[in-house]
Amino acid sequence: MTFTDAERRAMARALELAATPGVPLGPNPRVGCVLLADDGSTVAEGHHRGAGTPHAEADALAEAGAAARGTTAVVTLEPCNHTGRTGPCAQALVAAGVRRVVFAQSDANPVAAGGRATLRSAGIDVEHGLLEDDARALNRSWTFAVEHGRPFVTWKLATTLDGRSAAADGTSRWISGRASRLDVHRLRAGADVVLVGTGTVLADDPALTVRDADDVPLARQPLRAVMGLRELDAGRRVLDGQAETLLLRTRDPHEALATLRAHDRQHVFLEGGPTLAASFLRAGLVDEVVAYVAPVLLGAGASAVGDLGITTIASAFRPTVTDVTVLEPVAAGDQPDVRLTMAPHHASEER
């Protein structure tokens, strides 16, 4: 594979365009496109702005007009080859007279794949793999969901130094400090599902919305999903209409994720209690762990995770730590919490 310096710069710019703030989460990946002239100068740029809007290639072609003929299209994802709410990008590039296409990441979605073959059959020079790791990282959850047929699962927990998620009397507010809670809202905003069990709803009555520093719900909210067989009364906050709520009448993590995937969800933020967390861990369905550890000792109370069936230290669950961050206090009286981000070994081995 041979790429010019101009193409490398253009791909870096296309990735910036794809990551443009304000693009809503949804079933579509984030994609950017840059059209280059023969001398390496930029003819046009484009990016996808969410489901139902023009794809990045179409956006760039519309800006370029007739000047698109003879250009090189540098795209973060293989141009699609299907007709959905918009037409196939591969055909649009052919019709525009593009000479060469360079893309970063192949499209594993069987519905949209095949753009490379369509372009080559039309006589267009095609290369791929430029900054592929960066493109995959940008669309981590979408890529995982397409390749594995289920949403990516991030398990969030808040725990004391001795691994407790609640005191002996059941109280759990607040183990972590305000800085940790604000950080949780940031991570919630990056997912498209917040999932808990009926036990958490009955015990804590959480709202499960994404809120700002003033505790005001944001305009865009992830789906709230509640998993379990117990009935919930209509007065629970998770049913208050501030965000869409889906009741998953199952205790099977595989079934729950299949239902969420059928609803075009890519990233589950698992915030349930120890029983629900243990069920996902036992099923091998946790792909990332985010733990907020507070400088607190309780000595008794609920554990942060339920029984995993582990009877010996040799069988312990040992995720790989990928980040350690000290969250400095933002409220009077708080002490720093530590956020640990970890990857279970199975998640990296599935690639």
Catalytic residue among 7, 45, 57, 78: 57
Is residue 57 annotated as part of the catalytic site, yes or no?
yes
Q: Residue length, the chain?
A: 351
User: Could you tell me which of 130, 141, 85 has the C-alpha nearest to residue 111?
Assistant: 85
Query: Measured between alpha carbons, how far is residue 97 from residues 86, 91, 93 in Å?
Result: 19, 10, 6
- With beta carbons less than 8 A apart as the criterion, state whether 265 and 149 touch: no
- Find all residues with CB under 8 Å of 177, minimum gap 6, and list them: 294, 327, 329, 330, 331, 334, 335, 336, 337
Residue whose token pair is 């489901």: 51
Instruction: Fill in the amino acid letter for 265.
Output: R
CA atoms within 13 A on the CB side of 213: 3
Sign, CA torsion 57/58/62/63: negative
**DSSP letter, residue 339:** E
3-state secondary structure of 264: coil
State the CB neighbour count (10 A cutoff) for residue 310.
12
Residue whose token pair is 């804590």: 204
Between the two ends of the chain, the Cα-to-Cα distance in Å is 22
Q: So which residues are the catalytic ones? A: 57
